[in-house]
Homo-oligomer: A and B are copies of this chain.
Amino acid sequence: MIGQLPDLHRCSMISAMCTFSENPVVERLSHIVGARYVLTGADANPWSHDWSGTITWTPLAVVRPANTRVVSKIVKLANLNKLPVVPVSGNTGLTKGTTAEGAIMVSLDRMSAIRDIRPDGRTAVVEAGVILSRLHEAAAEHDLIFPLTFGARGSAMIGGAISTNAGGSNVLRYGNTRDLCLGLEVVLPNGEIMNLMSALHKDNSGYDLRHLLIGAEGTLGIITAAVLKLRPKPKAYATAMVAVASVDQAVHLLNRLQSETGGAVEAFEYMPRSFIEAHLKRFPEARAPFDDMYDVNILVEVGALAPRDAMPNPDGSIPITMHLETVLAGSFEKGDVLDAVVAQNDTQRAEMWARREAAAEVSRLRDPIVDNDIAVPVDKMQALLERINKRTQALDPGMQNISVAHLGDGNLHFAGWPETLDPEIHRAIQDAVEEEVIALGGSFSAEHGIGLSKLPAMSRRKDPAALAAMRAIKQALDPNNIMNPGKVIPAL
């Protein structure tokens, strides 16, 4: 039975001081979820901070439901008592989206079944708590891939990836998470279970609530399960580090590669000289990508889907690698490409990827850091970098830039270590970056989402009519404002 608890508000206000048995909500939760899966006090510590450990909070309780029906009961209880609910899965987000002071944290980690993999239909039915790399392994057993991948794949979970519409390194070829998601199961803010678990490629039956929930960061409901697209595993990869004369030249190289291979570029990642240097400082045992240092370094990967592009030629060469080398050689002769190293084996390929995926760790070398996840049209990236450089130089000439970019998607992870410690200057740098992004037709939030971190940008930069529509939708679906309150939608 779920019932309203009259004196709840008072108790939730002082939740940190309530012991388990004193708090009637926590007691109700233990009836619903099972006492051993309701964590308070020190037991809740693993869920009381973000991955960086720099932000902490004290939830009312952490609950670890075993299935969707239990999630539904939890949310109904919370809604009746107007208590905040914060869903959490891998907790690897970068925008403070899981802060949960005084809230019921619903951890999806026990809902970790890969319910079904249908190789012929190329779909996987998974629960929200499946760790991304586990799904990678399960798909690989069928010679398939789930294309979503990023550095935190060993701990990030599907529920969070969908809730934040995660991006990563293969968006260029396979799209964002929303493009890989056919169906959803969601517990809505009123506790009702919404079943949109379609495995269909065409379904025009009313408003697309699936896409509304994807990327809503838990503010419109809790995603409990999903039907995901799987794709055939490329039969061969060709991977290279390339030094290019400029970012514009890199974009031209990308276009040439796409034409030559018929759109087979899987990843096209930018790292500036300053990042390469910082990486070597953080990982002294690592190798530099080239004998010389260059300003514009690209990690490029091409994947062969057709057998013909992976079948060795009589001389042992692999066609997809030949395509890559041919384009690189042509660009080298023109002077657009300055140097290039093509991976000769999996170890070399892994080394190239390790450098790029160490970006988060490299950024923690120094403190403070000013960073921002932004996007512009691909052909505007050089202009963006130049404008940001000019603006930041004026504000803090000593700032060290360690930005990296998913260049093929026009997505810059701006990051810099400022010389000054003045937080006003840090804010001014952020403002300048956002201004230049907006001026170039870009977005102040590319793939990490809004959470708490980007609320000021949402207030100032988002189209006002769109913001008003989001408020109206949030109010309509969550009138008690219980679902991850205070995130995504700025207060009026």
Binding site for B on A (CB under 8 A): 118, 120-121, 123, 164-165, 167, 171-172, 176, 178-179, 188, 192-196, 198-209, 211-212, 214-216, 220, 232, 251, 255, 258-264, 304-309, 319, 323, 375-379, 406, 409-411, 441-450, 454, 457-458, 461-470, 472-473, 475-477, 488-489
Contacts and interface: CB of A to CB of B under 8 A. Distances in A.
B188 A465 contact: yes
A206 B467 contact: yes
Given A205-B461, A207-B215, 15 more contacts: A164-B204, A167-B202, A196-B466, A200-B376, A200-B410, A201-B378, A204-B446, A204-B449, A205-B462, A209-B469, A232-B258, A262-B305, A264-B306, A306-B309, A472-B477
A411 B200 CA distance: 9
B208 A204 contact: no
Given A198-B441, A201-B375, A375-B203, A307 B259 contact: yes
B205 A458 contact: yes
A450 B446 CA distance: 33
A199 B466 contact: no
14 contacts: A118-B379, A120-B255, A192-B468, A194-B466, A196-B463, A199-B377, A204-B445, A205-B454, A206-B450, A207-B212, A260-B306, A308-B323, A469-B477, A472-B477
A470 B209 contact: yes
A211 B212 CA distance: 7
A401 B171 CA distance: 43
A442 B314 CA distance: 48
A258 B123 CA distance: 16
Contacts of A198: 441, 443
A214 B206 CA distance: 10
A98 to B, nearest CB: 16
B202 A208 contact: no
Contacts of A209: 466, 469-470
A205 B306 contact: no
Nearest to A168: B202
Nearest to A194: B465
Contacts of A205: 443-445, 450, 454, 457-458, 461-462
Contacts of A305: 262-263
Contacts of A466: 194-196, 206, 209
Nearest to A445: B205
Contacts of A476: 472-473, 475-476
A323 B246 CA distance: 39
A55 B27 CA distance: 61
B195 A463 contact: yes
B199 A207 contact: no
A199 B441 contact: yes
Contact of A409 (B201, B264, B304): B201
Contacts of A307: 259-260, 262
Contacts of A258: 232
Contacts of A207: 212, 215-216, 220, 469-470, 473, 488
A465 to B, nearest CB: 4
A170 B262 CA distance: 17
A377 B441 CA distance: 39
Contact of A410 (B202, B379, B409, B464): B202
B304 A262 contact: yes
B377 A188 contact: no
A446 B202 contact: yes
B410 A206 contact: no
Nearest to A182: B377
Contacts of A457: 205
A458 to B, nearest CB: 6
Contacts of A470: 206-207, 209
A167 B200 CA distance: 13
A322 to B, nearest CB: 10
Contacts of A188: 465, 469
A21 to B, nearest CB: 34
